[in-house]
């Protein structure tokens, strides 16, 4: 049995991958690719828990968001020349809708949410939060699974240290007022 050769698009261009290269990948490339430290990261298939929480929490945040704030799922954030991670959910300052948009800039983003999966534990708990904080994104939520239910770890940026500090751990309802008023029944996300 022979392995098929890798497609040409898989090999980095001279000088390595950049954030803008993601927009030039061919249609046959995987749908969800992020760039972290100049390396392409292809995500593995999602578990049902991850997909349900992402869709339902994204919808709940969208309903709670005041006018002028939008919510997207699985959109990248261009943090720098070699950094373009894809949070599961993000909330952003919205002016005019741009249906051709492929990424957001950190100054537009109010909140990023990562739902931790087995294959993404280190990226979602360590690598990506550090990069979001250094880019100045003020609010970060990490969602973990505990006994089949979501637990939300809420963080806010300490601008002096450019790191996130925990502000809450929610097992039933994260009730927060920043970046906007949010009150979500976490049990409804998986029920």
Is 84 domain-assigned?
yes
Which residue did the predictor score with more confidence, 67 or 10? 67
Together in a domain, 60 and 145:
yes
94 pLDDT exceeds 70? yes
CATH number for 103:
3.90.1570.10
Together in a domain, 161 and 103:
yes
Handedness of CA 180, 117, 76, 132 (dihedral sign): positive
Rounded to whole angstroms, the Cα distance separating 188 from 184 reads: 8
At 43, is the pLDDT very low, low, confident or very high (cuts 50, 70, 90)? confident
Compute the average pLDDT of residues 182-186: 95
Together in a domain, 79 and 92:
yes
Together in a domain, 70 and 13:
no
Rounded to whole angstroms, the Cα distance separating 16 from 86 reads: 19
Together in a domain, 89 and 136:
yes
Compute the average pLDDT of residues 8-22: 90
Together in a domain, 130 and 173:
yes
Compute the average pLDDT of residues 44-56: 94
Q: Give the whole-number percent of the chain exceeding pLDDT 70.
A: 99
Secondary-structure breakdown of the chain: helix, strand, coil percentages, each rounded to the nearest 5: 25, 30, 40
Compute the average pLDDT of residues 176-181: 94
At 1, is the pLDDT very low, low, confident or very high (cuts 50, 70, 90)? low
Q: Is the peptide bond before 179 cis (omega within 30 degrees of 0)?
A: yes
Is 87 domain-assigned?
yes
Is 16 domain-assigned?
yes
| Tens-place pLDDT, residues 147-162 | 999 999 999 999 999 9
Together in a domain, 66 and 33:
no
Q: Where are the beta strands (DSSP E) in the chain?
A: 33-36, 39-42, 69-73, 76-77, 89-93, 103-104, 109-115, 139-146, 149-158, 163-170, 175-176, 182-183
64 pLDDT exceeds 90? yes
pLDDT score for 10: 83
Domain span at residue 15 reads 8-41
Domain tally, the chain: 2
Is 3 domain-assigned?
no
Compute the average pLDDT of residues 85-108: 94
| Tens-place pLDDT, residues 110-142 | 999 999 999 999 999 999 999 999 999 999 999
């Amino acid at each position: 049995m022979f392995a098929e050769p890798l497609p040409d698009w898989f090999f980095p261009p001279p000088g390595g991958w950049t954030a803008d290269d993601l927009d030039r990948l061919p249609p046959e490339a995987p749908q969800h690719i992020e760039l972290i430290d100049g390396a392409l990261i292809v995500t593995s298939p999602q578990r049902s828990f991850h997909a349900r929480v992402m869709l339902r929490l994204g919808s709940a945040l969208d309903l709670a968001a005041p006018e002028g704030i939008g919510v997207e799922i699985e959109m990248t954030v261009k943090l720098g020349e070699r950094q373009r991670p894809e949070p599961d959910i993000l909330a952003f300052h919205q002016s005019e809708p741009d249906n051709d948009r492929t990424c957001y800039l950190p100054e537009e983003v109010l909140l990023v949410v990562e739902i931790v999966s087995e294959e993404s534990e280190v990226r979602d708990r360590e690598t990506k939060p550090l990069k979001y904080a250094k880019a100045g994104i003020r609010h970060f939520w990490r969602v973990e699974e505990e006994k089949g239910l979501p637990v939300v770890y809420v963080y806010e940026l300490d601008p002096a240290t450019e790191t996130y500090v925990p502000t809450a751990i929610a097992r039933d309802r994260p009730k927060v007022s920043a970046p906007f008023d949010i009150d979500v029944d976490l049990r409804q996300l998986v029920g």
